[in-house]
Amino acid sequence: MEGDIVQMGAYIGAGLACTGMGGAAVGVGHVVGNFLSGALRNPSAAAGQTATMFIGIAFAEALGIFSFLVALLLMFAV
């Protein structure tokens, strides 16, 4: 066992930061699921809204990416 307690804390923090990705997963699933349930009710309008869906996915995903960024910062920068 080597290393100091600061490094241990950083690694635990990096692992905890990854739980934020679960939130992003819920968000992306919510966006796509609602898109799909709407699209199956009115398939003719679905094609025009796929771009909106991808924008929604991108915004939901951005917050998960921030938790990934925090994990990376803890691993390599702090």
Partner 1 sequence: MWGSNMIALILFGLAVVLLIAGIVATESGLELAFHPMDQFKIKPLFGGDTLAWYTPSNATLWMGLAVLCVIALLVVGTSKRAIVPGRTQSIAEMAYGFVYKMVEDICGKDGLKYFPYIMTLFMFIVFANFLGLLPMSFTTTSHIAVTVVMAMAVFLTVSILGFVLHGASFLSLFWISAAPLPLRPILALIEIISYFVRPVSHSIRLAGNMMAGHAVIKVFAGFATIAAIAPLSVAAITAIYALEVLVSFIQAYVFAILTCVYLKDALHPHH
Q: Which residues bind partner 1 (CB under 8 A)?
A: 51, 54-55, 57-58, 61-62, 65-66, 68-69
For the CB of residue 41, give the shortest distance to partner 1 in the complex, in Å.
22
For the CB of residue 76, give the shortest distance to partner 1 in the complex, in Å.
9
Residue 32: closest CA among 52, 14, 8 = 52
Q: Are 24 and 67 in contact (CB under 8 A)?
A: yes
Give whichever of 16 and 69 is closer to partner 1, judged by the CB atom. Answer: 69
For the CB of residue 9, give the shortest distance to partner 1 in the complex, in Å.
21
Give whichever of 11 and 68 is closer to partner 1, judged by the CB atom. Answer: 68
